A and B are shown apart, each in its own frame.
Chain A
Amino acid sequence: MSDRILGVCGILLALFFIWAATIIKLSFISDPIGPKTFPFIIGGLFGLSSLAIFLRPDARPSWPSMTGLAELAGGLAVMVAYVYLLPAIGFVISTAFASAVLSWRLGANLSGAAAAGIATAGGIYTVFHLILGLTLATGPWGF
């Protein structure tokens, strides 16, 4: 079933892609086949392979349980929050927070996760910023 859904989504995506290729505006500079032809070929290939997957699906993959999905959603939420916090509160604090939450969700206990978060943030800051001079996000406190 999963492969059939993938096939249908793929066909829809291929149609969308081909439609989006038709609205590419042509420029006054041009070559014999122009900027649309190759996208049409790709769209066709994408559609055909989606159709093949739809017609001959593989066995059902092992999707995670509801708890597994919840873990994933939580982990993703942490990563997205991290991206937005990075410019706001700086690298060290946001990284310590994000890696602590991730390692807690991967099975560390609370104190272990906190220590891991601080060590990860401090370690990366020391190695990449202080030693190697890489630019990291700076927050209001300068780190």
Chain B
Amino acid sequence: MDSFANLMHGFDVAITFQNIGLALIGCFLGTIIGALPGLGPSNGVAILLPLAFSLGLDATPALILLTSVYYGAMYGGRISSILLNIPGDEPALMTTLDGYPMARAGRAGEALALSGIASFVGAFFATIGLAILAPQLVKVALLFGPAEYFALFALAFATLGGISSTNQAKSAWAAAFGLGIAMIGVDGQTGVPRFAFEQIHLYDGIDFLVAIVGLFALSEVLIFLEHSGGRSAKALAAQTNKSQIAIGRPVASFALLKFCTPAIARSTVIGFLAGVLPGAGASLGSFLAYATEKQVSNGGDTFGKGDPRGVAAPEAGNNAAAGGALVPMLALGVPGSGTTAVLLAVLLALNVTPGPLLFTNSPDIVWGLIAALFIANVMLLLLNLPLVGLFARVLLIPAKYLMPLVAMVSFVGIYGVSGSTFDLLVMVLFGVIGWVLRKLDIPLVPIIMGILLGNLMEANLRRAMTISNGDWSALYGSYLSIGLWIFAIVGFFLPVFVGRKIKNKMHAKTVSDKTTGS
């Protein structure tokens, strides 16, 4: 019941005129960002992050704004999946399988309403799970010393590629690249400059905001520039497709909801667990939810042909995973997915040290945030049912007008934070690096994590070594740290054996179901 009292206190913090307003803006922007193909939760939060920072918002309002965007994007991703058969973001991929066939059958409004409600249920129960589970995890985390923390960071990096990763060398490469960038600048413990090569600009290190916006937002703009010819043709085709589909009344009947309730309930649990565990995340959450429902239902031969359960399951799953992913981020300070890594950047930018002490030192921030998630979730449901037509119309904004806006807002945000031309050039450089690495199939999230956590990871290593007087065996001196190392090693090498299989399965599913579905 301790959590409950804390949560009530959180509502006290969250319910102010400013915070509610920010949550509303965040939900609205988030839904749009999620709905637009090419902009997902991580680049959406990345673009808005420097803005929230340079507007001088306090920690709690800034977090409320950006997590509302995060939850909103999870809701929004389904709109283009259902109407255009193009997932608005990666986790919404599974929703296309049954959502689009439903829309073709004239049930677009029903599909949108149903998926909105499924999203709400998934996110709502995941937020309750977060409020219950995170404080328990904090109790374990308070037992951690520097050596355990070092092992935990290693575990986070080792599992970041995810169970479906096909090339672990590339995940490791990306992590090392990010950690290396974090080393640039004055060493916090001894005050000597490292890797700065006498350049004054580099003494402060590379600002992670600059790197995040460059890697996530600008590289997206570059991808669109590269495809400018082909992409506009595709967008045109999508638009003509769209005009054939009338949304209809966005209402789901009670009977339909009742029919889908077991699917939503199971998917919420699966999604939440997938979100909490390292190396899974929202995409796998929605995939597992969909696959389970297909198994559970009799034969599953209606799946892929517009079965409403196939719309409800992945949406409940990915929204529950979004809530679950906040558990390790808040309780341990170690994010398990791209978007939570960006949210961690929010905390660091606001000088809030994430981790177990956050719960004892700044309960206002944690519980205010969790309360805000409940508020945002209700707002999203209310926004999404009647306004879904408006959001659907946003999809018609062509990339040729949208992408320059994304680029310019990125520049404005970084300029607002640092006011330096040098940082803007570094951001463009990161945009190019991001583009090249995406081409080479190198994941960008470990790079961000490396830049964010590199100094903290090193500090823990050096603290552990100071305590043990330079004895390296202290790193595996407790059962807790041995356990963490074992998980890290298994988590890193398991995908080497099973990653390709799982990836192929996910891929085969979307392909085969699409062909049978159309």
Give the interface of A toward B (CB within 8 A).
2-3, 6, 10, 17, 20-21, 24-27, 29-35, 37-39, 42-43, 45-46, 48-50, 52-53, 56, 58, 61-64, 67-69, 71-72, 74-76, 79-80, 82-84, 86-87, 91, 95, 98-100, 102-103, 105-108, 112-113, 116-117, 120-121, 123-124, 128, 132-137
Contacts and interface: CB of A to CB of B under 8 A. Distances in A.
Given A68-B226, A83-B425, A34 B399 contact: no
Contacts of B353: none
Nearest to A104: B400
Nearest to A34: B190
A142 to B, nearest CB: 17
Contacts of A35: 187, 189-190, 192, 194
A83 B421 contact: yes
Interface of B: 51, 54-55, 166-167, 169-170, 172-173, 175-177, 179-180, 183, 187, 189-195, 197, 218, 221-222, 224-229, 231-232, 398-401, 403-405, 407-409, 411-412, 415-416, 419, 421, 424-425, 428, 431-432, 435, 439-442, 457-458, 461-462, 465-466, 469-470
Q: Point out which of A20, A49, A52 has the most chain B C-beta atoms below 10 A from its C-beta.
A: A49
28 contacts: A20-B195, A24-B192, A31-B189, A33-B465, A34-B190, A39-B194, A39-B195, A43-B180, A45-B172, A62-B439, A64-B227, A71-B228, A75-B221, A76-B432, A79-B218, A79-B431, A80-B425, A83-B428, A86-B411, A86-B415, A91-B412, A102-B225, A103-B401, A103-B403, A107-B228, A120-B404, A120-B408, A121-B408
Given A56-B169, A79-B428, A106-B228, A29 B190 contact: yes
Nearest to A100: B404
A50 B428 CA distance: 25
Given A80-B425, A108-B401, A136-B412, A33 B461 contact: yes
Nearest to B176: A46
B39 to A, nearest CB: 15
Contacts, number: 208
Given A35-B190, A38-B457, 20 more contacts: A17-B180, A26-B192, A32-B469, A33-B462, A35-B189, A45-B179, A64-B226, A72-B226, A74-B225, A79-B407, A99-B407, A103-B404, A106-B404, A107-B228, A108-B401, A112-B400, A113-B400, A120-B405, A133-B55, A134-B51
B396 to A, nearest CB: 15
A114 to B, nearest CB: 12
B425 A135 contact: no
A90 to B, nearest CB: 12
B415 to A, nearest CB: 6
A33 B416 CA distance: 38
B514 to A, nearest CB: 21
Given A84-B421, A87-B421, A102 B404 contact: yes
